[in-house]
Amino acid sequence: MHKLKTDKNLQKAWQIATPYVKLTLLKRKYMRKIDLERRHGNIMKNSFDLSLINREAKENLTELIETSEYLYRSQVRHIVKEIVELKTRIILLAGPSSAGKTTTSHLIRESLKAQGIDSLVVSLDDFFKNREDTPRLPDGSLDFESINAIDLDYLNVFVTDLLEKREAKMPEFDFLTGRRKEQLKDVKINEHTAVIFEGIHALNPTLIKNHEEDIYKIYICVNSNFFIGKEIVIPAKRLRQMRRLIRDFYTRGHSLSKTFEIWGNVVRGEDKFIKPYKTTANYILDSTHMYEPLIYASYLAPLLENMEEPEAKELFSMLNKCGKLKKDIIPKDSLLNEFVIRN
């Protein structure tokens, strides 16, 4: 993970010490590298001490939450600072399922606005092909992770019009009907507008051509394991699976069994179409929040308890090692609201 840099406008919680010293102490407190860490490409994972987090949730909950949110937002501030310094016009934000792309893209937009820079967020999901034209896997299921699930011809026309003519017609995909809406949205930018392309395939070089010198690339992922002693008890990929399960169940009406059923294909698609471009990013953003497993222990574990699927039993065992927190402690502007809906 890239080193985090801080700015001068820190919350009151960080006024006890200088920003750099405070952040360094917090990272040493909650995070360390252990023998069992594994490399992904050339990116070393972080590890959080789950025993300490469980204890802090009881004794210093406010600091735990503020630290978690701060570590994530510090990375976003660093990214925005680089974008402003480089005067980058095109921002590509990619990452696997349930990494936090949507929230992060809009946070970047808000942060750029605070710097006096207008920006436009373009979701690549809106360029999905209609369901009947979506490629299929050998078992007949739809392959949403394939780059060919996107209407590349239409996207290339849109990108060319937007960046060269500064206006284009943006589609909107309706996930309920599985089709693109007939009505298109007219979007216009000026020569100073930054355009944020957000989606699982955003770093694929076939999407944005001939503008390489004006691109800032971000790869967002869950890049931290949780350990007890010297054992990794919640690997990063499993935490992301928890996010997907709880989001799909509470917000999309999907059964946990259905999400378990498709998860293998999701991961295979990510390994084939998304992760190969991870090392091309200017910045690897870790969206892990230290206290989030304790939220899932309250809302996901009860749903897993009586399931027979081996994966469900495995996740239930992991969450049993966590303390429990209610979702009303999640800050209203937290990335975790993308997965845990308040109402």
- For the stretch 179-196, pLDDT in tens is 889 899 999 999 889 999
The pLDDT of residue 14: 37
Task: Quickly list H helices, the chain.
Answer: 19-30, 50-59, 61-86, 101-114, 152-160, 236-251, 256-273, 292-299, 301-304, 310-319
State the Cα–Cα distance between residues 336 and 322, nearest whole angstrom: 17
Which of 84-112 are b and which e, b meaning 16 or more Cβ less than 10 Å from the residue's Cβ? eeeebbbbbbbbbbbbbbbbbbebbbebb
The pLDDT of residue 65: 94
For 5, which DSSP code?
-
pLDDT band at 18 (very low <50, low <70, confident <90, very high): very low
Closest CA to 216 of 119, 72, 103, 144: 119
Indicate the burial class of 336 (C-beta count within 10 angstroms; 0-12, 13-18, 19 or more): buried
The answer to whether 68 touches 290, Cβ cutoff 8 Å, is: yes
pLDDT band at 303 (very low <50, low <70, confident <90, very high): very high
pLDDT band at 200 (very low <50, low <70, confident <90, very high): very high
The total of other beta-carbon atoms located within 10 Å of residue 49's CB is 19
Q: What is the pLDDT of residues 155-180, one digit of tens each?
A: 989 998 998 899 999 999 987 788 88
Whether the pLDDT of residue 38 is over 80: the answer is: no
For 26, the token pair is 């917090």
Cα angle, residue 193 at apex, residues 191 and 199 outer, rounded to 5°: 130
Instruction: State which H helix or E strand residue 216 sits in.
Output: strand 215-221
Percent pLDDT > 90 in the chain is 63
The pLDDT of residue 27: 55
Q: What is the pLDDT of residues 218-277, one digit of tens each?
A: 999 999 999 998 899 999 999 999 999 999 888 777 899 999 999 998 999 899 889 999
- The residue whose two tokens read 């299921």 is 141
Rg (CA), the chain: 20
- The residue whose two tokens read 């991961």 is 267
Cα angle, residue 147 at apex, residues 269 and 129 outer, rounded to 5°: 115
